[in-house]
Structure 1
């Protein structure tokens, strides 16, 4: 059933749903469009509506071959909508669900397209804040690129910023998707352009490996890993590509490349990757501590089944990672410093004396066991020494003097 959106647009068919709203196939004065209709509770928020109007100029001015352009913003009664270019194709998550991982050449070509789009956005002062496969569209109508890749376009610019109002999130909330969140966001710092680079590097890692570098298990464990763990190497890719990934996944935002630099470096690697097949790597298991966290969250696997990392973490119990109703924006509590100080894998950067093992690490556990064993042995030795001293003292006691009455000579 057709639905009017403002005075210029008509929505005909639902294309998809997300936590922020519903995307419709629509018609406007210039032809087919995609209309993202935000949720009713968002449209009734007067503060959000004000921000929506304030962001109009920035969003409408962002035009680039690798960005899904916003044509119009509609505020009409209870309707709050973004009218965008219609891309004939699918999103990157759907392709990942179908193929699991891509050949390195295609993966790098897609990431380079997205980096180009981010470079244009960052130059205009716009930070995406929610880069992930669901927000990358593949244009199936255009010519194929390196490795048979389709042209990639980044969508949903500005949506995270619009929803992230001070009243809605305060200082103790996180806006984003756990698998792709930069460490500085987890630690409560304001998001800058570097958060998009970190998220894009996470997406590229996922395209190559079939899973994200820090994903899997309870969302709280995922957030902790972003802050405390280092990325696990991927065997089988050229060292130049691996070093690029490591740099863009750096914990310090200043260590990451800019979007334009990343795009250029990725495109320079394409000839080196030509003809390489998809990687053959196994998804890492989640350790025992994270299994316990899964069990506490009510999402533990069946008995005897291994807990494995997934490409995306569903925040609604029972939801599948490939669910079409994916959460685009999630509001989560920022972990306290003491929660981030200790990790299940013992990789947290907790303050400690020079040369001392990290709390929770294998070395720390070994030292603790040795200390306990030493104390137990010492206690046993002290106890044995005490018993021996008592026995020795007892054996060396002189015999009592003879009975004087019985031993004295008889009187004359």
Structure 2
């Protein structure tokens, strides 16, 4: 496949990934002398029989039409589409960076600031798509790319392969689902997709809540067999992300659980409102108070951390005492003893001195 030139123009250079609908290649556009990403529908993956392949091809063409109509810096641009030797292909801008799937694979979880920033970017992409009447229906980490440092880490949504126009178009082919199985990724699908009910923009917001959960915790909200995960989406509420990361503020828990509400009416009404809520959580910057030691917390030596260069010296203190170390503790100057405690000490010292003097006098 490497070296194949589609329609005499797009030369396939490197396989970037593969999925249920086909393969994604880094390619060279010899007409405009630039590198692009080409999504190629592989016939043998097009389903069972000729009917399955035709349906996949029709869905592929609709992806081109859906994505080409969307203009947003947070949606990967579509440049061209066509077919070569019976294989439909889609030409897109090449994003220099990694998918969130790759980020999670390499890091396990991400800082809160990055998770909220990328979530906001996806909200902006969905706001544009939903305004055009397009529901993505397959928001997941693998379909969200993050540009490298030159792109300032901006997130972009890709793959409108199973996008659905919310308004019926007379020219659209009547596409079905093989065996009545809903399209999408089980780990991120909203309950209404499993029930094969009407979907709208709130369906994408549910999936985005699942993605945000995974960015924070390092795993999807529900795991296990496909049947078990489907049951969870339909009947359960995920654990709060702060159960896995206690430093997360309550506002983050509320944001995730609101996006993942089982009833669509309980989610934000649109992507613009979801973006406003993400911004609110980002701007408030809530932080939980420093943790306090449990009653049976193990003790450790109170070794003082090194003083900053511009801080006044701290008087030497004994390290024989053992204390619980507060992770947010920073060294400060020792304060003088409170007045009441100082007076008590002086009185005790005076009494001891008088007893010693009286004993010496008696012996004399």
TM-score tier (shorter) = 0.5 to 0.7
2:55 touches 2:175 (CA, 8 Å); kept in 1?
A: no
State the shift of 1:249 in Å: 0.8
Q: 1:89 to 1:275 in 2, by over 3 A?
A: farther
Corresponding residue to 1:68 among 73, 76, 80: 76
Do the aligned residues in 1 keep the contact of 2:251 with 2:286 (CA within 8 Å)? no
Counterparts in 2 of 1:9-408, with a 5 A limit?
Answer: 9-28=10-29, 29-30=31-32, 31-41=34-44, 42=46, 45-53=53-61, 56-142=64-150, 144=152, 150-159=153-162, 166-170=175-179, 172-213=180-221, 215-235=222-242, 236=246, 237-257=248-268, 258-273=270-285
Structure 2 gap ranges (5+):
166-172, 289-364
Contact 1:101 1:207 in 2 (8 A): yes
User: Separation in 2 of the partners of 1:232 and 1:27?
Assistant: 46
TM-score by length of 1: 0.60
**CA contact 2:68–2:79 (8 Å) conserved in 1:** yes
State the structure with bigger RCO (CA 8 A, min sep 6), 1 or 2: 1
Q: CA RMSD in A?
A: 2.4
Shift in Å at residue 103 of structure 1?
1.2
2:361 corresponds to which residue? none
Go from structure 1 to structure 2 and tell me whether the alpha carbon gap of 1:168 and 1:226 turns closer, same or farther (over 3 Å shift): closer
Where does structure 1 lack aligned partners over 5 or more consecutive residues? 145-149, 277-412
TM-score (norm 2): 0.68
Deviation for aligned residue 1:13: 1.4
Q: How many residues align?
A: 268
Residue 70 to residue 159, structure 1, CA distance change in 2 (3 Å): farther
Q: Distance in 1 between matches of 2:21 and 2:61?
A: 17
1:212 CA displacement:
1.6
Question: Does the CA-based 8 Å contact 1:37-1:80 persist in structure 2?
Answer: yes
2:59, 2:175 within 8 Å by CA — same for their partners in 1?
no
Measure how far apart 1:52 and its partner are: 4.1
SS in 1 for 2:35: strand
